[in-house]
Amino acid sequence: MSSSILATGTAVPSHKMSQAQALAMFQDFACVDDRQRRLAKVLFDRAQVENRFTFVPHTSAYQWCLDDQTPPQEITAGGSLTIAPEPTPRVVAGNSPGLSTGQRMRLYDLYASELAIASADQAIANSNRTSNSITHLVTVSCTGFASPGVDVNLIRALSLQPTVERVNIGFMGCHGAVNGIRTAMNIANSDPAATVLVCCVELCSLHCRFQWGPEENEKIIGNALFGDGAAALVIANTSGQRIDGAKDGSKDNANSDLPDWEIIDTGSVLINDSRASLRWDIGDHGFEMILSSDIGDRIESALSKWLSQWLLERGLGFDDIDFWAVHPGGPKIISSVQKSLHLTQQQLSVSFDVLRRYGNMSSPTVLFILDQFKKTLLKSPPPKLKTPRHALVIAFGPGMVAEVALLSTPK
């Protein structure tokens, strides 16, 4: 059986925050002395992020840190918490932890669906399918919880059939998109009539830390890296059939309706002795991302041996991979993969570019990379080859677990 990614869609919020603005805000909120302010600058500079997008203007967070630690009103759509205050309120660094986890989840419920809908609508349009053709819906997120939530809102907003079958992949971290691809692939392989919509949406900025306590350096790195975004895929079984799901059924449209990628297989490995290296904990004031300093060593020592064997079992080697979609969890993670697999800077240039332009958006990020590869292929398609070109998606999540998806260009 063979399944394909018919199309992708991506979306980011309208508010853009520079790394300089993010650093200044973190120094105002959390840095209680000059030593912390200097160290924060080093951490933010090392992140290699220039910009990221957030669903709420970043200066709005200043009113989440007022002395009484109480939001000025209930969190509602269009309320004052979504509007950047002018002038910026004065806050005492380290005085307030910001919103409670419950309040942050209400913001997730308000805004996550908006991004998800935008990316999913784009993916469906790019696939030349209609919303009525979607039989299964897979939602992926690790930055919030709501029920009914994103899945139900997607069904309503996109006019999906009320009989669409749903799967929610929650709290799996940055490799969640690979889990979504695997789930959709298995559905499509078992049901040739299925068309699966996969939607990854994350509001990472919700979990910005407002305090920097002793021995918490590993917890504040996320402030320098994370942004918000969403990405969606349409996946269907393409075994022995022409991709002819064009909206109007015309021959011309059908011939141009080629999938983005064929899905060959997915894989997963739990890296030994790495439980403490990458964690995602639920705290009283947001979720706490912990990135240990040894994460690079864990990747370098374990990834190459496992991945080379995994590819060999599928008749491939590292030299057969044309597109490396390595999740930019941070420059240290990318460089560790580069060292472990002996890749060039050019092979990982798109990963570094996505990190620079968007930051780490958690699960949608690798799909932004795939989308960029597809655009590159459309701009300058290679000469017709006898064999397809391969792409490998690699991402990491708490545990620490490496997840991969092997894709190829359409035959």
Q: For residue 360, list its beta bridge partners.
A: 226
pLDDT of residue 241: 60
Q: What percent of the chain lies above the pLDDT cut of 90?
A: 72
Number of domains the chain is built from: 1
pTM score, two decimals? 0.92
DSSP structural state of residue 86: S
- 3-state DSSP helix/strand/coil % of the chain, to nearest 5: 40, 25, 35
DSSP structural state of residue 400: T
Per-residue pLDDT, averaged over 298-316, amounts to 96
Span 45-63, pLDDT tens digits: 999 999 999 988 888 888 7
Residues 6+ apart with CB under 8 A from 345: 338, 352
Q: Is residue 114 part of a domain?
A: no
How far from 281 is each of 172, 273, 287, CA to CA, in Å? 11, 18, 6
Higher-pLDDT residue of 23, 75: 23
Per-residue pLDDT, averaged over 150-165, amounts to 98
Q: Is residue 200 part of a domain?
A: no
Residue with tokens 């907003």: 157
Nearest to 202 by CA among 383, 28, 395, 5: 395
> Domain range holding 347?
261-408
Q: Is residue 116 part of a domain?
A: no
Q: Is residue 60 part of a domain?
A: no
Q: What's the chain's average pLDDT?
A: 89
- How far apart are alpha carbons 283 and 148 in whole angstroms? 23
CATH code, 280: 3.40.47.10
CB atoms within 10 A of CB 166: 13
pLDDT over 80 (residue 379) = no
Q: Is residue 297 part of a domain?
A: yes
Q: Is residue 372 part of a domain?
A: yes
Q: Is residue 400 part of a domain?
A: yes
Span 313-363, pLDDT tens digits: 999 999 999 999 999 999 999 999 999 999 999 999 999 999 999 999 999
Span 254-299, pLDDT tens digits: 334 578 999 999 999 999 888 888 889 999 999 998 888 888 899 9
What are the E-state strand segments in 319-360?
A: 321-326
Higher-pLDDT residue of 67, 339: 339
DSSP string across 170-234: ES-GGGHHHHHHHHHHHHHHH-TT-EEEEEEEEEGGGG------TT-HHHHHHHHHB-EEEEEEE
